[in-house]
Amino acid sequence: MRFLAVGGLATLVSLLGFNALAHGLLIHRAPMRDQPVLAYVAANVVAGLVAYLGLRLWAFSHRDVSGPGAGVMRFFALGAVTMLIPTACLAVSRYVLGLSGIWADNVSANVVGLALGTATRFWVFRRYVFVTEPVSLEHHAAGPPAG
């Protein structure tokens, strides 16, 4: 649930940032109207920072980071790789299907792409960034400690 809460906040940052940059939402001018993929990437860099802090300090605070410096690099590298999914959905909608409206952009990137990217991101981060200590077979076979 914490993962989803942090993801929700990061998604809100991404959604508002993208729509402000590409469609002028809330700021009444779209500085990146002709660069929707770049606008999506820029908004998601900021959202990635929000996500990392929320995941590290709250959602996965009980888990160790596998190599603290490498963990941060791994988080952002894997986040960038998984961000290719919604970015590809947006690019296909814009440049293959020729759809350029606010609804088309948001359905392609922030509904379809986000759903696919979130599922992938959860598995990747849990598996490669925020890891638990493996429990040995001997510890598992011995059962709970006597006491």
Domain boundaries, the chain: 2-131
For residue 135, the model assigns a pLDDT of 45
Q: What CA–CA distance (Å, rounded) separates 39 from 114?
A: 15
Give bridge partners of residue 103 from the DSSP assignment: none
Confidence of residue 90 (pLDDT cuts 50, 70, 90): very high
Mean pLDDT over residues 54-58, rounded? 82
- % of the chain at pLDDT higher than 70: 80
pTM of the full predicted structure? 0.73
Question: Is pLDDT larger for residue 70 or for residue 66?
Answer: 70
Reported as type and span, the H/E element at residue 65 is strand 64-65
**Left, alpha or beta for 22 (phi > 0: left; psi -120 to 50: alpha)?**
alpha
pLDDT tens digit sequence for 6-45: 888 998 999 999 999 999 988 888 999 999 999 999 999 9
pLDDT tens digit sequence for 17-26: 999 999 998 8
